[in-house]
Amino acid sequence: MTVRGVRGAITCSEDRPEAILQATQELLLAIQAANPGMHPDDFASIFFTATPDLRSIHPAKAARQLGWNRVPLLCAQEIDVPDSLPRCIRVLLHWNSSLPQSQIHHVYLGEASVLRPDIEEISLSSLRPDL
């Protein structure tokens, strides 16, 4: 089995704990839905970053609220590049998977889709109609 990196990003409407947690959960669920067979027990670790304008709560708490309690999580501040996308949460999941890299789906939602225009935007409702 190989460790695969799975990337994603989403923007947050404002620097409030509820908004950060909601956006982060939306992103994590979309990544999970876009990668069939992905289960938290298969994560080696997850690394979150947030732009300097998001500091009211750690995005990793959203994973804990989803029940991902055994996954090692780490948060850091994204470097403050001038004119970069504001209020952005990024994630890198290290996933133990037998899938080839070509079958890994990275997810960039909403305004964060400008970070990777080569990746088709995925909506959570199209992946999980129950949400």
User: Cα-flanking dihedrals φ and ψ of residue 99, to 5°?
Assistant: -70, 145
116 is catalytic: yes
Catalytic residue, chosen from 4, 26, 78, 87, is 78
Cα separation of the two ends of the chain: 31
Catalytic residue, chosen from 16, 55, 64, 128, is 64
55 is catalytic: no
Catalytic residue, chosen from 12, 87, 88, 90, is 90
75 is catalytic: yes
Catalytic residue, chosen from 116, 120, 121, 128, is 116
64 is catalytic: yes
128 is catalytic: no
The β-bridge partners of 95 are: 4, 43
What does the block give as tokens for 48? 């979150």
Instruction: Find out whether 8 and 38 touch, Cβ atoms under 8 Å.
Output: no
Locus of tokens 């999980």: 128
Q: Give catalytic residues, as residue numbers.
A: 7, 64, 75, 78, 90, 108, 116
